[in-house]
């Protein structure tokens, strides 16, 4: 009798998660498997797919004008935006732990950019802020600086785009906020009694205690950064001179402008392997710098 009831409840549970499972199977797993399949084909969107073996991969590594440049641009973008974003998120989270009236309102406001972040509208806003006679240069002019060619110069455009990502620090910040609140107060009190200064407390207590959250943020943000597309597409369209031609942009153009679906699938699998590799490295290295109160056993 008891067992039967349990089974029934299981059914209901499955029903509740069904939308996710179906969505996952149809929109994630199936395309995932198929893209692997297509990566060995020459797949013109109109003419259909034809198996060509490893040809796409060979061409990417030996005879693609954009591949290495795009990889390079994407790595630089990741190296700038991810650490800065995490540092910034941690800083703001630290500020937002202070106990003042209306702190929740501030937390919400600081989270807003992330809610809007991925959208086209914000990218367009960013474009208008940073164009030659945009707001940022007007402000710089007040203190007799600039104008700086934020988006038109091949040397600077990538950094400007990276700043947009840094500005969207909200989701990391929320995690840090939770982490900071979980650091036991008695540790701080003990350190203070022992005469440790604020900086020392931060590096010796706060950082180790929240290191698992730093790890999580590092992994998630790196994965996101490597797949970045919107900002470069909307603001600079990969230019000038391909200086913001992120890997995601290259992939998109191969797929939807030149209609080389097979080639684009191969590109996306290379990106996938890079992401897996990088994540593995971060995890591997984390045993040296993360601290778990319970010894780190999952």
Binding residues for other proteins (CB under 8 A): 44-47, 104, 127, 131-133, 149, 151-154, 235-236, 239-242, 256-259
Residues 6 or more apart whose Cβ sits within 8 Å of residue 244: 73, 77, 157, 158, 161, 232, 235, 236, 238
Q: Please, what is the minimum distance in Å from the beta carbon of residue 129 to other proteins?
A: 12
Q: Which is nearer to other proteins, 86 or 238 (CB)?
A: 238
Q: Is the peptide bond before 147 cis (omega within 30 degrees of 0)?
A: yes
Q: Please, what is the minimum distance in Å from the beta carbon of residue 127 to other proteins?
A: 6
Q: Which is nearer to other proteins, 45 or 215 (CB)?
A: 45
Q: Which is nearer to other proteins, 100 or 199 (CB)?
A: 100
Q: Please, what is the minimum distance in Å from the beta carbon of residue 120 to other proteins?
A: 11
Q: Please, what is the minimum distance in Å from the beta carbon of residue 186 to other proteins?
A: 27
298 exposure class (CB count in 10 Å sphere: 0-12, 13-18, 19+): exposed
For residue 264, the tally of other CB atoms under 10 A from its CB is: 24
Name beta bridge partners: 48: 44
Q: Which is nearer to other proteins, 14 or 120 (CB)?
A: 120
Q: Please, what is the minimum distance in Å from the beta carbon of residue 104 to other proteins?
A: 6
Q: Which is nearer to other proteins, 78 or 160 (CB)?
A: 160
Whether 238 contacts 245, CB under 8 Å: yes
The total number of residues shown for the chain amounts to 298
């Amino acid at each position: 009798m008891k067992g039967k009831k349990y089974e029934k409840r299981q059914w209901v549970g499955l029903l509740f998660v069904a939308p996710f499972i179906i969505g996952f199977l149809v929109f994630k797993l199936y395309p995932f498997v198929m893209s692997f399949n297509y990566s060995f084909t020459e797949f013109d969107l109109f003419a259909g797919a034809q198996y060509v073996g490893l040809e796409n991969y060979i061409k990417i590594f030996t005879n693609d004008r954009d591949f290495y440049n795009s990889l390079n641009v994407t790595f630089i973008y990741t190296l700038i935006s991810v650490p800065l974003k995490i540092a910034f998120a941690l800083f703001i989270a630290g500020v937002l732990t202070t106990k003042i009236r209306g702190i929740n309102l501030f937390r919400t406001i600081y989270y807003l950019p992330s809610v809007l972040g991925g959208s086209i509208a914000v990218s367009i806003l960013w474009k208008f802020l940073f164009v030659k006679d945009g707001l940022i240069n007007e402000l710089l002019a007040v203190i007799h600086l600039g104008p700086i060619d934020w988006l038109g110069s091949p040397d600077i455009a990538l950094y400007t785009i990276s700043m947009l990502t840094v500005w969207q620090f909200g989701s990391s910040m929320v995690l840090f906020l939770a982490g900071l609140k979980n650091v036991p107060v008695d540790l701080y009190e003990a350190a203070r009694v022992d005469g440790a200064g604020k900086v020392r407390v931060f590096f010796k207590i706060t950082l180790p205690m929240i290191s698992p959250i730093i790890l999580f943020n590092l992994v998630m943000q790196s994965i996101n950064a490597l797949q970045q597309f919107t900002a470069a597409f909307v603001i600079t369209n990969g230019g000038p001179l391909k200086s913001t031609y992120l890997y995601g942009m290259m992939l998109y153009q191969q797929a939807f402008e030149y209609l080389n679906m097979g080639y684009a699938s191969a590109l996306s699998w290379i990106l996938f392997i890079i992401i897996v590799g990088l994540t593995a490295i971060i995890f591997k290295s984390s045993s040296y710098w993360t601290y778990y109160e319970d010894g780190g056993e999952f």
